[in-house]
Structure 1
Amino acid sequence: MKPTVTLDRVQAPDGSWLVLQEHDGTYSMRIDGVPLMSTNAHASEETMAELACQNLESKAPRVLIGGLGFGFTLKRVLELLPGQGSVTVAELLPVIVEWNRKFLRSINGDPLEDKRTTVRELDVYDVIKSSPARHFDAILLDVDNSPDPLVQQGNERLYSTRGLRLTQAALAPHGRIVYWSANVDERFERNLRSVFRHVQAIPAKSYPQAKRFTHMLYLASNGALD
């Protein structure tokens, strides 16, 4: 049996410990012992990208991704965007960017090197707050396990009603936003419906062959979702 190897262990600004491990070619990330993600279970991240990029009206769409993770959402968005499109990735922790470049290039295809990608090592909330009105054609937010409960309490403001309204203001009139959640969150869905005209809760699988849906994607827009 092959051992699990700890590749790096870093303390985040909030005091939590972030750990990157590898076992038999599979990489995983934990925060204070809580599993966050794995390279063998990323189907929901790809579905998230497909929902966000569907029916984009602009010939040069601008996309914002909150949370780099293992880079699978970014990779799929780049596959779907036209050559004139651009992607801004907001990642609060520089070590996540470093891990992608150092350990994960052979796994995710190195999307950080795509000329359409810009990385901002900032909280995505601050990126949204400082963005011009109606700037992004699509926004994808995957910065915690779910709106409630949160792994990192500092992310609460992103999912609050004020955070939803700020995000709406940064979105183009017919733009789309997708929130990733580890589970069903009816209260968050109600908050979304109080801000956006159209909302869909879409179950998602962790990996294509999974027999059941384990995650939830919340798709919202002020334009039609069909």
Structure 2
Amino acid sequence: MTPWQLLDTATVPGNGGELQLYQRGTEFSIKLAGRGELMSSRVHGSEEVLAEQTCVRLTAEHPRLLIGGLGMGFTLAAALRHVGEQARITVAELVPAVVSWNRGVLGGCAGYPLQDPRVSVHDGDVAQLLKREEPAYDAIVLDVDNGPEGLTHRNNNWLYSMDGLNAAYAALRPAGILAVWSAGAAPEFMQRLQKVGFDVDEMRVRAHGKKGARHTLWFARR
């Protein structure tokens, strides 16, 4: 079997550890040193469902979306396939190297979505945008870390706290959607969303088609 080759490493701000980019043939993997694989170019079905189901729920004619977490670009690419030419998407990515990887060696995995003129990149924490607390978005998609319990960046926990969810609520336009990806179930998180005032739908989907682990998606309407 072809061995994995380490292509690059990057430090996660805020003492979040080290990301490692690996390649084996046409397959790519991003790992967190000492914690294992975070994402793979082979497995991205639930991320695509997250974006697709968010877009299905949009009511705005020319929507503006905010995606927290670029990853390998699959969530962004799926969103672009399901919105019109007048839509605008901001993707916030905390680790600058992840953006560079997606502009370079990783770009082909998802079809180079960063080259789409509808996309702009915020180099920094998505929380910075949410803390402005102004109704700027028709959808906020959080594909950050491992879900409600962060692995790579402790400050990610704020996103899923009552303060973070209240900020997301304030950043959404009327009838806007907050969509959240999680590696596992978190009943208390759904209760938190409802306490903020969201109407919430929960979905369980396979990581890749009908195979793999079951991931949890929440779609919370303002």
Tell me the TM-score range normalised by the shorter chain.
over 0.9
**Which amino acid in structure 1 is aligned with residue 181 of structure 2?**
W
Deviation readout 1:54-102 (Å, 9 max, x if unpaired): 1422221000000000000100111111110000001111100001111
Runs of 4+ in 1 over 3 A off after TM superposition: none
Q: Deviation of residue 146 (structure 1)?
A: 2.1
Task: Give the structure with the higher percent strand.
Answer: 2
Correspondence for 2:85? 83
Residue 122 of structure 2 is matched in structure 1 by 120
8 A contact 2:70–2:98 mirrored in 1: yes
What's 1:62 paired with? Answer: 64
Of 95-104 and 191-200, more deviation after overlay is shown by 191-200
Q: Which amino acid aligns with 1:33?
A: G
Aligned-pair CA distance for 1:151: 3.6
Q: Which residue of 2 aligns with 1:46?
A: 48
Partner of 1:94: 96
RMSD between aligned residues = 1.4
Q: Name the amino acid aligned to 1:96.
A: V
- Contact kept, 8 Å, 2:12 with 2:152, in 1: the verdict is no
Q: Tell me, yes or no, if structure 1 residue 184 matches structure 2 residue 196.
A: no
Q: Which moved more, 1:105-114 or 1:51-60?
A: 51-60
Q: Which moved more, 1:85-94 or 1:32-41?
A: 32-41
Q: CA deviation at 1:168?
A: 0.3
Structure 2 residue aligned with 1:202: 203
What residue is the counterpart of 1:10 in the other structure?
10
Identity among equivalent positions (%) equals 39
Unaligned stretches of 5+ in structure 2?
none
Whole-angstrom CA distance in 1 between matches of 2:210 and 2:139: 28
Contact 1:196/1:220 (<8 A) preserved: no
Cα distance, 1:122 vs structure 2: 1.3
What is the CA deviation profile of residues 13-46 of structure 1, one whole-angstrom value per residue up to 9, with x for unaligned ones?
Answer: 2331110001231111111232110010000010
Q: Which residue of 2 aligns with 1:109?
A: 111
In structure 1, C-alpha distance between the alignment counterparts of 2:131 and 2:14, rounded to whole Å? 21
So what's the TM-score if we normalise by structure 1?
0.93
Tell me, in whole angstroms, the C-alpha distance in 2 between the residues paired with 1:14 and 1:179: 22
The DSSP-based 3-state class of the residue aligned with 2:158 is helix
**Match status 1:161 vs 2:158:** no
Partner of 1:194, secondary structure, is helix
Deviation string, structure 1 residues 178-210 (Cα, Å, up to 9, x no partner)? 111000011111111101331122101111141
When normalised by structure 2's length, the TM-score is 0.94
**Residues 101 and 107, structure 2, Cα contact 8 Å, conserved in 1:** no
- CA pair 173-81 structure 1, distance change in 2 beyond 3 A: same
The answer for the alignment partner of 1:32 in structure 2 is 33
Unaligned ranges ≥5, structure 1: none
Match of 1:19 in 2: 20
Shift of 1:115: 0.4
In structure 2, what is the Cα distance between the partners aligned to 1:63 and 1:149?
A: 22
Contact 1:203 1:213 in 2 (8 A): no
How big is the shift at 1:148?
A: 2.4
